[in-house]
Chain A
Amino acid sequence: MCWALLLLIAVAEYLTAAVHPQLGLALHALLLIGLLVWSGFGPRPAERRLALGLLLAPLIRLLSVGLPLPALPQLAWYPAVGVPLLAATWIIVRQAGLGRRALGLRQGNLVFELALMAGGFTLGAAEYAILRPEPSFGAMNGWYFFLAALVLLVFTGFTEELIFRGVLQTLALPILGRSALIYVSLLFGALHIGHLSIGDLVFVTLVALLFGQIARREGSILGVTIAHGITNLTLFVIMPYLHRDRPDLVPYFIAGPLAIGTALSVGALGLLALRSAEAGILAAGSEPIRPHYDEARVQLRAMLSEGRRSRQLSFNDLARLTGIDARRLVAFEFGIAGPDPAELQRIARELELVPQQLAVAFAAAHQSA
């Protein structure tokens, strides 16, 4: 069902951009209505919550095509679409019960995130090489540059990262497990079909995969948000204006921000890969060391770990979904600690377990401890 929806969204995007715009937009409107029905009558809670999140995909296009954007200056397009979209996102966040932690609205490793942000220059220059957009924000001066940077950061960087890496990736995890990252990246790519460039489609999908993996590992969308904003600033402002107005400065930009940004972001990604590899070795090494369990603890662990594994959720994934620290989740699963009632409800909801049964299993494990 999820993958069929992704295909339908991609078809609607292609129709809107290249074949019959009215037909494409009508398909988006039908998808919106279909997703609303699914959010009410979907068989599983996690599916209904994902349907809520997926409402944002047709809404993005209904807003960006339905609004009379050509009547506004181009810099106003982004807030014109972004403000109602953020309002819709806020309603979804509340209805799906997503906390700040689940959305990645927290600070990760600051040094790593700063290094990653600098990579936005590289990504923006690379996408400029693919799309070659003309300068479209009118005459540029210092204040206008600052305003453009702020608008692009908030209404493309923050809004899109919150929607795709914060909301959708989190809501897709319980349904699709590790494929959630691929799913959301393909959806992000599909919503860029409007550029009518295969190269850009592939580029954007790969960047989305990278951003998704970083947000998942770091548990924060801060770095990818700013990297996304800088990418668009480089793509739509810095590179087009430099090429048109100051081509003599292009080599300095390449030797300065671009080279430094590339070096920093490559270093940050290398560090991320190293940390992931280390975590994998530690996890593999810790596997054989298992304490003795009695029957009640074995049953509790089986219930929780099977719930997690059937949805292909790591402890970190479950921590993001429930807003409970991953170390506490490990302690719960091993019967070392017990959750409070609110935590128990959240775990039961994410793993689709009956809260009463889970409470009984916890009580039995702790009586035997």
Chain B
Amino acid sequence: MTTVTTTAVATSGLGAFALIVTVALIALLIGKDIVDGRSGLGARRIGRALAIGILPLLTVFAVDILVRALEVLG
């Protein structure tokens, strides 16, 4: 009873998954840059909420880079 599943999926197409996550992360970072320059209430709310998405996706990105670097070095 855990949501950390889809193991069959996780073993194939890792590069494509990392690419999707990276594209989503770039979209959120661009969004953050756009809303930070605006003063509307909605934009401010989104600006705050973007951290919720950016932090975990940044973790995925960093861990992916680390694993790839270790693979190359190892």
Which residues in A have some Cβ–Cβ distance to B below 8 Å? 16-17, 21-22, 25-26, 29, 32-33, 36-37, 39-41, 48, 52, 55, 59-71, 77-78, 80-85, 87-88, 91-92, 95, 123-124, 127, 152, 155-156, 160, 188, 191-192, 194-195, 204, 207, 228, 231-232, 235
A22 with B13: CB separation less than 8 A: yes
B17 with A84: CB separation less than 8 A: no
Q: Which of B1-50 contact A (CB under 8 A)?
A: 1-14, 16-18, 20-21, 23-24, 27-28, 31, 35, 42-46, 48-50
Asked if B67 CB lies within 8 Å of chain A CBs, one says yes
Number of residue pairs across A and B with beta carbons under 8 Å? 162
A123 with B1: CB separation less than 8 A: yes
Known: A55-B49, A78-B4. 19 other contacts (CB 8 A): A21-B6, A22-B16, A22-B17, A26-B20, A29-B24, A32-B24, A32-B53, A37-B46, A39-B45, A40-B45, A41-B45, A62-B21, A62-B56, A63-B59, A78-B2, A84-B59, A92-B52, A156-B2, A194-B5
Q: Quick one: closest B residue to A203, CB to CB?
A: B1
Contacts A22-B17, A66-B20, A231-B1 known; A55 to B53 CB distance under 8 Å? Answer: yes
Which B residues lie within 8 Å of A82 (CB)?
A: 4
B4 with A77: CB separation less than 8 A: yes
Give CA–CA (A207, B1) in the complex, Å.
9
Instruction: Provide a sorted-by-A list of 8 A–B residue pairs whose CB atoms are within 8 angstroms.
Output: A16-B9, A21-B17, A25-B20, A29-B23, A29-B24, A80-B63, A85-B56, A204-B1
Which A residues lie within 8 Å of B23 (CB)?
A: 29
Which residues in B have some Cβ–Cβ distance to A below 8 Å? 1-14, 16-18, 20-21, 23-24, 27-28, 31, 35, 42-46, 48-53, 55-57, 59-60, 63-64, 67-68, 71
A66 with B4: CB separation less than 8 A: no
In the complex, how many angstroms separate the beta carbon of B13 from the nearest chain A beta carbon? 6
Give CA–CA (A194, B48) in the complex, Å.
31
B49 with A39: CB separation less than 8 A: yes
A156 with B4: CB separation less than 8 A: yes
B46 with A88: CB separation less than 8 A: no
B16 with A65: CB separation less than 8 A: no
Give CA–CA (A91, B56) in the complex, Å.
11
Which A residues lie within 8 Å of B1 (CB)?
A: 123-124, 127, 156, 192, 204, 207, 228, 231-232, 235
Which B residues lie within 8 Å of A67 (CB)?
A: 59-60, 63-64
Give CA–CA (A80, B64) in the complex, Å.
12
A39 with B46: CB separation less than 8 A: yes
B45 with A48: CB separation less than 8 A: yes
